[in-house]
Amino acid sequence: MKIQVLKDYGEMSRAGAEIIAETVRDNPRAVLGLATGATPEGVYDVLVEKYAAGEIDFSEVTTVNLDEYCPIEPSDDQSYRYFMEKHLFSRVNIRPENTNVPMGNAADPAAEAKRYEELLASLGYADLQLLGVGQNGHIGFNEPAAALFAETHLTPLTESTLAANSIYFTDRAMPTEALTMGMASILRAKRILLLASGKSKHAAIARLLEGEISTECPITFLLLHPNCTVICDRAAYEG
């Protein structure tokens, strides 16, 4: 695992976007695993700038997002599909049919999880998987637990995640479940790029740096990946 500590959110975002841009330059047909949340917003802004400057072409790129609330309509302004359209897809030349987010409104979430995992397998999993991390060490929505799921599945959200994310659901209760790639779906990516910014992520980063792998802190499974880069800002690294 390579760890890079940069000054602040802006530097972290530029460095993260550069790795994604390089991946697409090396392989214009790359499969990008994408993430939502406040952390990657800056990366998407830099990618849009690079696209506008003619430095990156998304026309042959395919994307697979990590997770989605369930139940939620894709058109809901708090859905991860909506987030991706707003922050990236509508701002670059990616083909809509090449973008994939689990369907949070599926009538049968278990069947949707199976469909999504089969889709990932058919694409050969991500060439590069972008990750943020939850305050409790979750990746995607793989929450701390006695056991973790390998493949895409429906999961209840923990109190910590409900508390962290409910600020976005100002006018209603947030969904209490989500569809998420599993640990193996994530670890099958050829390369992983995890970004962490701010003091609230320090505990999770500190656990990762301790070097012990625990299902109670899912980020620590990244220690098993042969090509994982972690970019933190100083606040996340130092606490």
C-alpha of 102 from chain center? 13
Q: How far is the CB of 83 from ligand GLP (least distance, A)?
A: 10
DSSP code at position 172: S
Exactly one of 136, 165, 225, 233 is catalytic; name it. 136
Distance CA 54, CA 12 (A): 22
Active site includes 22? Answer: no
Q: Quick check: is 225 catalytic?
A: no
Contacts of 54 (CB under 8 A, 6+ apart): none
CA 125 – CA 200 distance, rounded (Å): 30
What six digits make up the tokens of 102?
């689990």
Is residue 18 flagged as an active site residue?
Answer: no
Cβ at position 62, least distance to ligand GLP in Å: 19
Closest approach of ligand GLP to the CB of residue 82, in Å: 14
The single residue of 68, 112, 127, 143 carrying the catalytic annotation is: 143
Instruction: Give the CA dihedral 75, 37, 71, 180, nearest 10 degrees.
Output: 120
- Considering beta carbons, is residue 60 or 145 the nearer one to ligand GLP? 145
Identify the three-state secondary structure at position 50.
Answer: helix
Asked whether 58 and 101 are in contact (CB, 8 A), the reply is no
138 is catalytic: yes
Considering 65, 67, 87, 142, which one is annotated as catalytic?
A: 67
User: Which spans of this chain sit near ligand GLP (rule: CB under 6 A)?
Assistant: 35-39, 66-67, 132-134, 140-141, 161, 165
Q: Report the residue number, 23 or 161, with the smaller CB distance to ligand GLP.
A: 161
Nearer to ligand GLP among residue 57 and residue 191 (C-beta): 191
Complex with ligand GLP: residue 60 or 82, whichever CB lies closer: 82
